[in-house]
């Protein structure tokens, strides 16, 4: 037997459930899953890896769209899977499509921000797609499969 | 009779011109449908299936 330097895969999965705290953590009143939301942004906005929290700046507006967007359902807890003695993946994907029903969004948009509405609207991820407008219609974002390689949000060691 | 939600209220689909389109690349698979009435766009819906995830690499540093 030999030891192998590695980030443990269990640790990556536990990062997704706030098990570890190396600094000052928010005080949680419950161990329940946080609530997450998805907001749409105009093509002229500049949301990216440096985004720290939800903002209404650059957000779409229009009939039947509520600022802040819609709820995102994470029905399946994060999964952590080893692929070798040195590598693994922790991943999670919303368990349902994100849908904006009967909206009119006349100005082109091309991004969605997923953020934690329980924890001061802190940002999770930005996902882009081809520019869209919606007229008295429905905009649906379907999620990729929740697997080690395709899950929407992944932490990985190689 | 299929009804379509439009900017002018619910309308019979047969009264409208239907246009459809799609886009498929490494990032997404997208379809959309539009309904037009006398040259005016009265309904547009889109369905984006995301393909690409966001991934972050993490690493344990070595002492040597």
pLDDT tens column, B5-17: 999 999 999 999 9
Contacts of B2 (CB under 8 A, 6+ apart): B12, B13, B14
Q: Does A154 touch chain B (CB under 8 A)?
A: yes
Closest CA to A134 of A52, A26, A61: A61
What's the mean pLDDT in A145-156? Answer: 91
pLDDT tens column, B33-57: 999 999 999 999 999 999 988 878 8
Mean pLDDT over all residues of chain A? Answer: 92
Q: pLDDT grade, residue A11 (50/70/90)?
A: confident
Q: Answer whether A132 sits within 8 Å of B32, measured CB to CB.
A: yes
Which of B46, B49, B57, B63 should one mutate to test binding to chain A, selecting the residue with the greatest count of A CBs within 10 A? B46
Closest CA to A99 of B34, B43, B45: B45
Q: Answer whether A133 sits within 8 Å of B28, measured CB to CB.
A: no
What's the mean pLDDT in A44-67? Answer: 96
ipTM for this prediction = 0.90
Radius of gyration of chain A (CA): 18
First to last CA, chain A: 21
Where are chain A's structural domains? 9-16+33-157
Q: Answer whether A132 sits within 8 Å of B60, measured CB to CB.
A: no
- For B22, the closest chain A residue by CA position comes to A130
pTM of the model: 0.92
Q: What is the pLDDT of residue A46?
A: 94
- Two structure tokens written together for B16: 């409208």
Q: What is the pLDDT of residue B64?
A: 66
Q: Answer whether A129 sits within 8 Å of B48, measured CB to CB.
A: yes
Contacts of B56 (CB under 8 A, 6+ apart): A154, A155, A156
Residue A124's CB is within 10 A of a number of other CB atoms, namely: 20
Using a CB cutoff of 8 Å and minimum separation of 24, what contacts does A21-26 make?
A26/A119, A26/A120
Q: Answer whether A137 sits within 8 Å of B43, measured CB to CB.
A: yes
Contacts of B64 (CB under 8 A, 6+ apart): none
pLDDT of A73 > 80? The answer is yes
Give the span between the Cα atoms of A9 and B3, in whole angstroms: 51
In the three-class reduction of DSSP (H, G, I as helix; E, B as strand; rest coil), residue B62 is classed as: coil
Q: Does A131 touch chain B (CB under 8 A)?
A: no
Selecting from B34, B41, B57 the residue whose C-beta is nearest the C-beta of A156 gives B57
């Amino acid at each position: 037997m030999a030891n192998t330097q590695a980030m443990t895969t269990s640790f990556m999965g536990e990062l997704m459930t706030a098990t570890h705290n190396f600094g000052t953590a928010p005080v949680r009143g419950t161990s329940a899953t946080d609530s997450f939301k998805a907001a749409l942004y105009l093509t002229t906005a500049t949301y990216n890896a440096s985004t720290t929290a939800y903002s209404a700046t650059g957000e779409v507006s229009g009939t039947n769209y509520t600022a802040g967007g819609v709820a995102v359902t994470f029905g399946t807890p994060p999964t952590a899977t080893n692929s070798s003695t040195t590598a693994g993946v922790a991943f999670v994907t919303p368990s349902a499509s994100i849908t904006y029903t009967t909206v009119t969004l006349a100005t082109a948009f091309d991004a969605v921000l997923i953020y934690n509405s329980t924890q001061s609207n802190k940002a999770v991820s930005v996902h882009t797609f081809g520019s869209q407008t919606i007229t008295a219609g429905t905009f649906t974002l379907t999620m990729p499969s929740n697997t080690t390689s395709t899950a929407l949000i992944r932490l990985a060691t190689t | 009779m299929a009804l379509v939600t439009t900017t002018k209220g619910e309308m019979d689909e047969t009264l409208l011109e239907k246009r459809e389109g799609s886009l498929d690349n490494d990032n997404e698979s997208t379809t959309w449908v539009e309904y037009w009435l006398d040259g005016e766009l009265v309904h547009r819906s889109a369905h984006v299936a995301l393909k690409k995830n966001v991934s972050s690499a993490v690493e344990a540093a070595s002492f040597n």
